[in-house]
């Protein structure tokens, strides 16, 4: 056993096969992937990594397994899934997730499954002398009595069913679905979410990540193969939900951060680089490749590194966008639609389309569709009945419909093009042309 000292959780014990797993080259790559991508350009302290986060999720999932009284075999499977859940995150974390999907046909969770089972390379050609002959992670897991398939299932699959609330004690399941295991990784009160909220708040310096983890752990229990909280945990669950909502608004969807991320994505898109092994690269690898690619791509990367950022030329805030405008905007919320708008705005402004960036939230965000997955905490009452936390908490109910983003569309461009792009974007986004598809 080794004790790893962590600023969020204190002493984290790493035992047995998890010591070897932690030192695998696949895990060590995560030391060089910033957890919050380019957010450190806005929040200077946000230099923590996916490696730290993965250790934190490993620690919390183990504590949850203990709180629920799970047998060692299940607890070890959970710990392995927690440690490996981000093993294939691309450079700069979520910033390039869709880029990786387009290049490989897999999101980072499916790519993690392939890497763990040895179906995808685990190192780049340059590292062959270091790692050639290294067996897949699945072999290490199997030798330790942990099923690689079960680990991959926990990483890839969310909870199998939602909306099972308000079932009385007579509604019993005859077959153990073991949804509780999935919920510890992907649920409304999961180890992943609790760690990143606390960790990100600590390193960004904001005050929204205060979560009473001890109270949540003490109120956790199993009911019908589900993770639920006793009523004594409602206040702590509300705190978690408030923290999540405010962190998304303050940090994860900060407008300047979104501009910087968009500049990096544009640099990657126009670089001509082979992105099939993006999941094996580090932040430094990608920066070096972009700088070496020359042209506009290298210029954009240098601009990001030196904080010579695009200016926000036009922002339409959600409160000012009527339903007709949002409905028209939805048609352009996919990559092809955004490119069409960028080309139209650039043409009207007389500038290079590669310099115009349009950022539009997802359709569900634009239309304020309520999503329950991460907010519908299950509360067990004294009569052995499970209800949604929204039945007990008006705060929780309000948070389900609170938008994470306060803007509907944002257009940015280099400072030299600010005025031309602002005027052009205002005309194009008026959506007055009836012939536009």
DSSP string of 95-140, one letter each residue? GGHHHHHHHHS--HHHHHHHHHTTSS-SS-GGGHHHHTTPPPHHHH
Residue with tokens 């509360």: 379
How do residues 275-296 score in pLDDT, each as one tens digit?
A: 999 999 999 999 999 999 999 9
Distance CA 347, CA 343 (A): 6
224: three-class secondary structure by DSSP: coil
Contact 224, 172 (CB under 8 A): yes
Element housing 227 (H / E): strand 226-230
27: three-class secondary structure by DSSP: helix
- Show the tokens assigned to 109: 């969770």
User: Pairing state of beta strands 226-230 and 386-388?
Assistant: unpaired
List % helix, strand, coil for the chain (3-state, nearest 5).
55, 10, 35
Contact 390, 328 (CB under 8 A): no
The listed range with the strongest mean pLDDT (44-48, 221-225, 320-324) is 44-48
Residue with tokens 């998890």: 18
How do residues 23-37 score in pLDDT, each as one tens digit?
A: 999 999 999 999 999
What pLDDT sits at residue 102? 92
Q: Evaluate if residue 375 carries a pLDDT over 80.
A: no
How do residues 8-23 score in pLDDT, each as one tens digit?
A: 999 999 999 999 999 9
Element housing 5 (H / E): strand 2-6
Distance CA 342, CA 339 (A): 5
| 169 compared with 128, residue with greater pLDDT | 128
- φ, ψ of residue 317 to 5 degrees: the values are -80, 150
Q: Evaluate if residue 368 carries a pLDDT over 80.
A: no
Q: Evaluate if residue 174 carries a pLDDT over 80.
A: no
Is the overall model pTM greater than 0.75, yes or no? yes
Q: What is the CATH number of domain 2-209?
A: 1.10.3210.10
User: Residue 166 has what DSSP assignment?
Assistant: S
Instruction: Of 161, 26, 10, give the one whose Cα is nearest residue 86.
Output: 26
- Least confidently predicted of 52-56, 184-188, 265-269, 310-314: 184-188
- Mean pLDDT over 122-145 rounds to 97
| 312 compared with 176, residue with greater pLDDT | 312
What pLDDT sits at residue 318? 87
Contact 423, 343 (CB under 8 A): no
- Mean pLDDT over 402-410 rounds to 85
Alpha helix locations (H) across 205-316?
213-218, 234-247, 255-269, 283-293, 295-305
- Other Cβ atoms closer than 10 A to 329: 23
- Exposed, middle or buried, 125 (CB in 10 Å: 0-12/13-18/19+)? exposed
What pLDDT sits at residue 338? 92
User: Residue 220 has what DSSP assignment?
Assistant: E
How do residues 324-361 score in pLDDT, each as one tens digit?
A: 898 889 889 888 999 999 999 999 999 999 999 999 98
Q: Evaluate if residue 126 carries a pLDDT over 80.
A: yes
Please, which residues bridge with residue 358 across strands?
411
- Integer Rg of the chain from CA: 23
Confidence of residue 399 (pLDDT cuts 50, 70, 90): confident
Confidence of residue 171 (pLDDT cuts 50, 70, 90): very low
What pLDDT sits at residue 363? 73
Ordered by start, the domain boundaries in the chain are: 2-209, 311-368+403-437
What pLDDT sits at residue 209? 66
For the chain, give the mean pLDDT: 90
């Amino acid at each position: 056993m080794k004790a790893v000292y962590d600023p969020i959780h204190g002493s984290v014990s790493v035992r047995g096969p998890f010591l070897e797993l932690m030192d695998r080259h696949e895990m060590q790559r995560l030391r060089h992937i910033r957890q919050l991508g380019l957010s450190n350009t806005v929040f200077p302290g946000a230099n923590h990594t996916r490696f730290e986060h993965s250790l934190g999720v490993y620690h919390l999932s183990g504590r949850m397994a203990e709180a629920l009284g799970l047998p060692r075999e299940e607890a070890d499977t959970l710990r392995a899934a927690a440690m490996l859940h981000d093993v294939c995150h691309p450079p700069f974390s979520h910033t390039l997730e869709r880029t990786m999907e387009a290049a490989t046909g897999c999101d980072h969770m499916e790519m993690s499954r392939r890497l763990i089972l040895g179906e995808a390379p685990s190192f780049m050609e340059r590292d062959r002398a270091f790692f050639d002959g290294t067996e897949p992670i699945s072999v290490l897991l199997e030798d330790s009595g942990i099923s690689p398939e079960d680990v991959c299932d926990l990483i890839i699959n969310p909870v199998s069913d939602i909306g099972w609330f308000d079932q009385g004690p007579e509604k019993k399941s005859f077959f153990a679905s073991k949804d509780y295991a999935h919920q510890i990784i992907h649920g409304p009160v999961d180890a992943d979410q609790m760690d990143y909220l606390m960790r990100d708040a600590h390193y960004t310096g904001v005050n929204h990540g205060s979560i009473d983890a001890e109270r949540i752990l003490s109120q956790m229990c199993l009911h019908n193969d589900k993770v639920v909280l006793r009523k004594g945990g409602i206040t702590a669950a509300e705190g978690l939900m408030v923290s999540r909502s405010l962190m998304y608004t303050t940090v994860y969807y900060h407008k300047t951060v979104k501009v910087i991320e968009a500049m990096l994505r544009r640099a990657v898109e126009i670089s001509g680089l082979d992105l099939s092994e993006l999941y094996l690269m580090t932040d430094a690898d990608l920066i070096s490749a972009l700088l070496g690619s020359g042209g506009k791509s290298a210029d954009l990367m240098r601009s990001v590194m030196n904080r010579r950022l695009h200016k926000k030329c036009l922002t339409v805030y959600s409160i000012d966008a009527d339903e007709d405008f949002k409905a028209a905007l939805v048609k352009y919320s996919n990559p092809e639609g955004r490119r069409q708008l960028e080309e139209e705005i650039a043409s009207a402004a007389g500038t290079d389309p590669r310099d115009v960036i349009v950022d539009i939230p997802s359709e569900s965000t634009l239309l304020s569709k309520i999503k329950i997955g991460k907010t519908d905490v299950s509360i067990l009452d004294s009569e052995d009945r499970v209800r949604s936390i929204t039945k007990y908490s008006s705060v929780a109910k309000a948070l389900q419909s609170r938008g994470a983003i306060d803007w509907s569309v944002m257009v940015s461009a280099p400072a030299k093009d600010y005025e031309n792009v602002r005027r052009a974007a205002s005309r194009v986004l008026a959506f007055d042309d009836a012939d536009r598809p």
